[in-house]
Amino acid sequence: MRRRAASRAAGGVEARARALLPHPRGGRAGRRPSGELVQAVVCAARRGPLLTGAARLCVDSPAVRDLRGQGVTVAVIDSGVNGGHPHVGAVAGGVRIELSGEVSEDYVDRLGHGTAVFAAIQEKAPGAELYAVRVFTDRLKTSARALVAAIDWAAERRVRVVNLSLGTLREEHAAMLE
């Protein structure tokens, strides 16, 4: 029963992703948003276990393989980015948002996770314009206030896609991430 429900959920994600794709004869059918990175990164896979509330994403589907993120802005809300890393290309800009919500310009990643996520997005969507939004301290801590401020920062700049690669091993926080 649980496996059938997961399969239906995966099919729903895939259907929503396909609805965002450009119409084969040009233009768009219905009222689809344009230029969203989700066109390039969403397809449902039906193998292996998933975290609660998570959907597996892939970019190798023939329907989305050639979409490269042109004209799309992405905010990577994470531990920042190391712009000098060999796997990181251009960084459009960024900020650091402290636990208190205070904003500064130091978005340099000292943990590595944000840099890895940033590089993965750039690899699959090289035409996208990516911003680094550092919300984690050097001790891998953040706050709800910092996360909300980061999302607000992206929204104020009309960023089209916000990436939050969050997870926890602490039961008391798991419900917030579902």
Domains of the chain with bracketed CATH: 1-67 (no CATH), 68-178 (3.40.50.200)
pTM: 0.65
- For the chain, the average pLDDT equals 73
14-32 tens-digit pLDDT: 454 444 444 444 443 333 3
pLDDT above 50: residue 106:
yes
pLDDT of residue 128: 92
**Of 47 and 108, more confident:** 108
pLDDT at 99: 92
In contact, 61 and 47? CB cutoff 8 Å: no
- The closest of 143, 142, 81, 86 to 117, measured between CA atoms, is 81
130 strand-pairing partners: 74
* Residue 144: per-residue pLDDT: 87
Q: Across residues 59-74, what is the average pLDDT?
A: 72
